[in-house]
Structure 1
């Protein structure tokens, strides 16, 4: 009987249905303690990791029979890919279910930040003094504004469709320009990253975290943006220099930010918590009941496919 360890508490029904002949080790609580994890992986064939949670090389090396790591999430920056490649371990991710909900949240952050929804909600709920009036508490409409998307993968494309439907124009920058037919279908225009930052009313970050993208939005990039522009990040926290972002917000180099991810999660700097022009979410891009179940099913399918001798649909190694 094959043995699978799932590092964190995720929906179980899909694993039990798709892998009925497997011995599956679930955490008793939210996750395993480091000591327990080391002991539990000694004879496992596969491990399910969860985005944002590091699978250490120490744990990997404590699992001599390990043949596969299936990541619950689109990113796999929580795994030392060089190390597992040397071990000959196959790695998969689960990108498809995360596309629409992440784009949905990015659109929500855009609206919430531009229309000051978080700020107004906090004031009203805390019963702080708020003056009402025709020319008070004004915000920014997105209709007619330019959205600049950095990272035109599946999530970027899903966000572009939403933005165009909301009356925005969309430009993008990507490592590789998408095809002309798809650009026409999405109604998007490819421009340089510098031009995108200079001209966009909203900049949305939708790239993976890699050595090349880490810290790619820093002081110089933020100072290129319009003073009236908003920065939205649903990618990964470390793609932004968080201290540079705080300084840009405090000095009003940009108008505001909507953030679902942070540089050192779950730690969020007090400055970001206290700034009224920042809309914060606790990494909830994929956090819907429906999406979590779909992710479990896809992770289980990747495992089933691999151990039946076929290439998994989402192999990344």
Structure 2
């Protein structure tokens, strides 16, 4: 029996490539940029499956070129899938899967990195040392926020939100407040509050951990930043378009909030010059899952989804 033709949109760790090459007739698209519309349309026509990832925007317009494309499954590399129009895929008989679970702890770790870097002005301090302008320690040098015992607000209490909350509560003795689209019960001390404005007003650190998509587009904007304490910090590890970047820049420029830590951006990889010019924001290049063992686990999960699908079984992570 001939192997299924599979297109891999970006290079993955060698262990994943070796297994994929063993299982399938694999084509590696050896580029780091997102797929172009023409590449996506050609992929749907030529391959039995595509392994896309962040930035590969399989919109309704892409699917509308076809009745029933040859490609029957988009096995997404990543937990977030707002770059794929799920309803359009289903309408064209294309299954979509993702990789939940594998990314949880690594992403939560980056959230903690950003919380601490922003609160303790670590990026600003590192730039000061590198510049050669540091004049030495003194008692009022670069005073920041001591996070232990403070209040963290989590926007979205899914797997990643809970992992962040656990780290904050058990690691730093922080009070945990959260908002969630539905009522949520967790097995550690945490209080669900009525709305985002209340959460913003009560917390010292606000963390966005909600899924991307139309429902959460610009969920966090000027109204949220205006409700926050002037000593509070904002962290985003969800999706860039969850935040109105213009409103965030204004809040940081005016001192309306004390600082921010970002791992994702609204028009990634573009980062506004006004944001890059600010000292009170930490900017990371989407490092959420950037640990080799995590990326291997994610890749293996993609292959598990593909293997199950082609064996006539339900993929473990079908959306």
Fold-level match, TM-score > 0.5? yes
Q: CA deviation at 1:256?
A: 0.5
Would you say how many aligned residue pairs link Structure 1 and Structure 2? 312
Distance (Å, rounded) in 2 between the aligned partners of 1:30 and 1:194 = 39
2:295 aligned with 1:289:
no
Q: CA deviation at 1:176?
A: 1.2
Q: Residues 58 and 177 (structure 1 numbering): CA distance in 2 closer, same or farther, change over 3 Å?
A: closer
Structure 2 residue matching 1:91: 3-state secondary structure = strand
Structure 1 residue matching 2:246: 3-state secondary structure = helix
Residue 141 (structure 1) aligns with: 146
Distance (Å, rounded) in 1 between the aligned partners of 2:11 and 2:20 = 17
Q: Is the 8 A contact 1:45 1:66 kept in 2?
A: yes
Q: Residues 39 and 90 (structure 1 numbering): CA distance in 2 closer, same or farther, change over 3 Å?
A: closer
Residue 171 (structure 1) aligns with: 177
Alpha-carbon RMSD: 1.9
Distance (Å, rounded) in 1 between the aligned partners of 2:272 and 2:189 = 37
Residue 78 (structure 2) aligns with: 73
Residue 231 (structure 1) aligns with: 234
Residue 12 (structure 2) aligns with: 10
Residue 110 (structure 1) aligns with: 115
Residue 216 (structure 1) aligns with: 219
Distance (Å, rounded) in 1 between the aligned partners of 2:228 and 2:118 = 16
Distance (Å, rounded) in 1 between the aligned partners of 2:314 and 2:270 = 38
> Can you list the C-alpha shifts for 1:233-261, whole angstroms capped at 9, x where unaligned?
00011111100110011111111000001
Residue 308 (structure 1) aligns with: 311
Residue 101 (structure 1) aligns with: 106
Distance (Å, rounded) in 1 between the aligned partners of 2:31 and 2:93 = 31
Q: Is the 8 A contact 1:47 1:70 kept in 2?
A: yes
Deviates more, 1:36-45 or 1:275-284: 36-45
Unaligned stretches of 5+ residues in structure 2:
none
Deviates more, 1:166-175 or 1:63-72: 63-72
Distance (Å, rounded) in 2 between the aligned partners of 1:256 and 1:30 = 31
Alignment of 1:181-260 (within 5 A): 182=186, 185-192=187-194, 193-260=196-263
Q: What TM-score comes out, normalization by structure 1 length?
A: 0.93
Distance (Å, rounded) in 1 between the aligned partners of 2:58 and 2:38 = 13
Q: Is the 8 A contact 1:12 1:296 kept in 2?
A: no
